């Protein structure tokens, strides 16, 4: 390979190939998670993050310049970031693109500098960086790149090859840096995901045959066969009748926050959205029932050109009419009326957003006054965009966000940084019980800062234990775990392991309760009967008569019991 400089077209191909390689390996990466729980999600989170950016890059086409590609990578990954690994990956891309966006061609020296900027940006995004993770692997890649450039390496094939070789070596050493990885017999899953991105990009550079097509997110539902069902399916898919396209000629700076807000608005009125921003223009495509709403919103950013609106329902009717062999003019189907805009109300002082899963837990949060529930948590980490969308739906000056999962806190913090029109305060709740405690201790008469301080203090007093099952054999915290075993997982590791749900739950609870404990709360999941839960409660009351015992239906999947001690 004689190519010693990479242009925008090659960068686009390398990025798409890296995304596809990660997507192909996501299930394997999920299995590298230390805890053998059935919700391993590192590979899924990283894939959803990078594919959000890949769709934006793909929409640009092969004629896009370096700045446009960089903006698509940065804004797409920031908006689509899910989970800690996804947020860190988005920050790596953010730093990487900051360095290269002004370049027309990329050399080994530019790559070395961009890797360094990527690592610097990602480390700043994490409050307490931990070695033996994706950050360590990224820094190893950056250090090797710098070393090669200092040695005079200007051959990109050699450069990429040695950088990836060293990155894989650093990855192999992560179990030596994190004992929990060594015990589980795995390398860091986030670091593995990063190396899959780099390997895929290198394969594209080397000319390996790759499918660069990026599909839209899979939709639910079955696919029918036969001509009649195909026609019915086509008709059912036209939920929004007008294909609307135009270009905004910007009259002011269009920053990432504006871009995210505009996309969120388009998503609220339609689907099939493409919104690609360049320095002076924004290309827009949306399927909607009211093109005027999209146009009115776009006019806030500048003048419009290249406008095109097609009635897809009418086109669909014409096709079916021709297929039927009839003559004449088809009668267009009725279009659903556009929903009238609700009159705006003055914002209230405080609002709450909680991430939750399980119909019982959701009802608990709603009964406590939470304004908006984001469905997600252990089995599906919401993205930064999901949180920003929720923020738009809560009409309050100050909004408290309760992630209720340690893997969602970074995405929530990223949403807070991108929110400018409201005061967004992230209370770093790591579990559902912490989130419930936070809301209970909210006092409307206190200021935002006073409430934040009080909630932080109260959630620090909450211990949480969760009972689930193991999906593979492993050793964690010196406990041998077999596939199918039940596990009690505490705030800092495995508390108990065994073959009976009730016994494991009681053993875990025994390590959480002290003589100072006053309240035990038990939330039983969707796979536990009310009778079994009541029997468990009776045993707990007998063992801990000095505590108040609360039993509530949570309805959460995967976790048989979620228990808290205060």
Q: Please name the helix (run of DSSP H) or strand (run of DSSP E) that holds residue 535, with its range, or none.
A: helix 530-543
Least confident span in 47-61, 297-311, 431-445, 488-502: 297-311
- The CA-CA-CA angle for residues 83, 14, 139, to 5°, reads 55
Domains along the sequence of the chain with CATH: 8-205 (1.25.40.340), 237-324 (3.30.70), 348-459 (3.40.50.510), 463-565 (3.30.1180.10)
pLDDT band at 222 (very low <50, low <70, confident <90, very high): very low
What tokens were used for 111?
A: 């790559």
pLDDT band at 252 (very low <50, low <70, confident <90, very high): confident
SS3 for 442?
Answer: coil
- Cβ neighbours of residue 196 under 8 Å, at least 6 residues apart? 18, 21, 22, 25, 29
Return left, alpha or beta for 555; rule: phi > 0 is left, psi -120 to 50 is alpha, else beta: left
pLDDT in tens, 67-93: 999 999 998 898 888 888 998 999 999
Which residue from 394, 410, 470 is spatially nearest to 39, judged by alpha carbons? 470
Return left, alpha or beta for 420; rule: phi > 0 is left, psi -120 to 50 is alpha, else beta: alpha
- Tell me, what's the pLDDT at 319? 52
Mean model confidence pLDDT for the chain = 85
- Cβ neighbours of residue 477 under 8 Å, at least 6 residues apart? 180, 183, 493, 494
C-alpha pair distances (Å), 529 with each of 149, 301, 432, 541: 63, 55, 20, 18
- Cβ neighbours of residue 389 under 8 Å, at least 6 residues apart? 264, 267, 268
- Tell me, what's the pLDDT at 375? 87
C-alpha pair distances (Å), 235 with each of 120, 274, 327: 50, 22, 20
pLDDT in tens, 31-65: 887 766 765 588 989 999 999 999 999 988 888 99
Distance, in Å, from the CA atom of 205 to the CA atom of 194, rounded to the nearest integer, reads 17
Query: Half-sphere exposure of 233 toward its Cβ, with a 13 Å CA cutoff?
Result: 12
Q: Residues 201-205: what's their mean pLDDT?
A: 94
Which ranges constitute the DSSP H helices of 178-311?
Answer: 179-184, 189-205, 227-237, 256-269, 291-298
- Tell me, what's the pLDDT at 283? 74
- Tell me, what's the pLDDT at 253? 72
pLDDT in tens, 380-416: 788 898 899 899 899 999 999 999 999 899 999 999 9
- Asked whether 4 and 155 are in contact (CB, 8 A), the reply is yes
Which residue from 417, 241, 261 is spatially nearest to 338, judged by alpha carbons? 241
Residue 464 clears pLDDT 80, i.e. is over it: yes
Distance, in Å, from the CA atom of 439 to the CA atom of 350, rounded to the nearest integer, reads 12
- Cβ neighbours of residue 277 under 8 Å, at least 6 residues apart? 71, 75, 254, 259, 283
Residue 324 clears pLDDT 60, i.e. is over it: no
- Asked whether 428 and 403 are in contact (CB, 8 A), the reply is yes
pLDDT band at 225 (very low <50, low <70, confident <90, very high): very low
Return left, alpha or beta for 33; rule: phi > 0 is left, psi -120 to 50 is alpha, else beta: beta
- Over the range 158-188, which residues count as b (16 or more CB within 10 Å of their CB) and which as e? ebbebbbebbbebbebbbeebeebebbebbb
- Tell me, what's the pLDDT at 205? 94
Q: Residues 350-369: what's their mean pLDDT?
A: 94
Q: Residues 360-374: what's their mean pLDDT?
A: 94
Distance, in Å, from the CA atom of 186 to the CA atom of 43, rounded to the nearest integer, reads 14
Distance, in Å, from the CA atom of 309 to the CA atom of 307, rounded to the nearest integer, reads 7
Locus of tokens 């269009």 = 254
Residue 231 clears pLDDT 60, i.e. is over it: no
pLDDT in tens, 159-200: 999 999 999 999 999 999 988 888 878 899 999 999 999 999
Distance, in Å, from the CA atom of 137 to the CA atom of 206, rounded to the nearest integer, reads 23
Distance, in Å, from the CA atom of 369 to the CA atom of 354, rounded to the nearest integer, reads 10
Beta strands in 442-547 (DSSP E): 463-469, 474-476, 479-481, 486-490, 493-498, 519-524
Q: How many CB atoms lie within 10 A of CB 326?
A: 10
Distance, in Å, from the CA atom of 182 to the CA atom of 383, rounded to the nearest integer, reads 30
Distance, in Å, from the CA atom of 39 to the CA atom of 471, rounded to the nearest integer, reads 9
Q: Residues 145-172: what's their mean pLDDT?
A: 96
pLDDT band at 249 (very low <50, low <70, confident <90, very high): confident
DSSP label of 494: E
Q: Residues 264-293: what's their mean pLDDT?
A: 79
């Amino acid at each position: 390979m004689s190519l010693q400089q990479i242009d925008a077209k090659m960068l686009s191909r390398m990025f798409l190939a890296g995304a596809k390689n990660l997507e192909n390996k996501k299930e394997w990466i999920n299995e590298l998670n230390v805890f053998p729980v059935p919700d391993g999600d590192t590979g899924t989170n990283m894939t959803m993050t990078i594919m959000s950016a890949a769709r934006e890059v793909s929409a640009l086409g092969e004629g896009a310049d370096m700045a446009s590609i960089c903006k698509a990578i940065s804004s797409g990954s920031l908006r689509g970031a899910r989970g800690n690994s996804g947020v860190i990956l988005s920050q790596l891309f953010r730093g990487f693109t900051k360095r290269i966006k002004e370049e027309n061609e990329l050399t080994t020296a530019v790559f070395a500098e961009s890797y360094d900027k990527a690592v610097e940006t990602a480390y700043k995004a994490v409050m307490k960086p931990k070695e033996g993770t994706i950050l360590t692997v990224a820094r190893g890649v950056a250090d090797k790149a710098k070393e090669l450039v200092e040695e005079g390496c200007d051959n990109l094939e050699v450069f990429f090859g040695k950088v990836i070789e060293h990155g894989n070596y650093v990855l192999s050493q992560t179990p030596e840096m994190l004992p929990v990885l060594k015990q589980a017999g795995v390398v860091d899953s986030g670091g593995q995901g990063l190396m899959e991105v780099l390997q895929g990009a290198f394969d594209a550079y080397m000319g390996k045959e790759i499918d660069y097509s990026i599909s839209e997110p899979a939709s639910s539902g079955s696919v029918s066969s036969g001509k009649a069902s195909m026609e019915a399916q086509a008709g059912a898919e036209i939920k929004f009748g007008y294909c609307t396209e135009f270009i905004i000629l910007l009259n002011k700076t269009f920053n990432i926050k504006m871009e995210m807000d505009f996309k969120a608005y388009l998503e609220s009125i339609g689907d099939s959205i493409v919104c690609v921003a360049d320095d002076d223009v924004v290309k827009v495509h949306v399927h909607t029932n009211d093109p005027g709403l999209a146009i009115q919103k776009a006019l806030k950013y500048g003048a419009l050109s290249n406008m095109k609106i097609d009635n897809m329902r009418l086109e669909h009717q014409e096709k079916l009419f021709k297929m039927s062999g009839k003559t004449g003019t088809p009668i267009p189907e009725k279009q659903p009326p556009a929903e009238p805009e609700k009159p705006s109300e003055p914002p209230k002082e405080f609002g709450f957003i909680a991430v939750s899963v399980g119909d019982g837990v959701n009802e608990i949060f709603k009964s406590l006054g939470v304004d908006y529930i984001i469905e997600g948590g252990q089995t599906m980490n919401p993205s930064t965009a999901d949180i920003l969308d929720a923020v738009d739906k809560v009409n309050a000056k100050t909004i408290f966000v309760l992630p209720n999962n340690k893997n969602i806190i970074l995405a929530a913090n990223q949403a807070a940084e991108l929110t400018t029109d409201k005061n967004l305060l992230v209370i770093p709740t790591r579990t559902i019980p912490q989130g419930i405690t936070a809301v209970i201790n909210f006092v409307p008469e206190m200021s935002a800062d006073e409430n934040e301080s009080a909630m932080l203090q109260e959630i620090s007093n909450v211990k949480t234990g969760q009972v689930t099952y193991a999906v593979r054999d492993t050793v964690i915290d010196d406990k041998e775990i077999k596939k199918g075993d039940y596990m009690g997982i505490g705030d800092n590791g495995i508390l108990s392991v065994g073959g009976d749900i009730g016994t494991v739950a009681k053993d875990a609870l025994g390590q959480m309760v002290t003589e100072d404990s006053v309240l035990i709360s038990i939330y039983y999941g969707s796979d536990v009967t009310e009778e079994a839960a009541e029997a468990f409660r009776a045993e707990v009351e007998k063992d801990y008569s000095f505590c108040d015992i609360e039993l509530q239906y949570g309805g959460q999947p995967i976790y048989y019991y979620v228990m808290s001690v205060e």
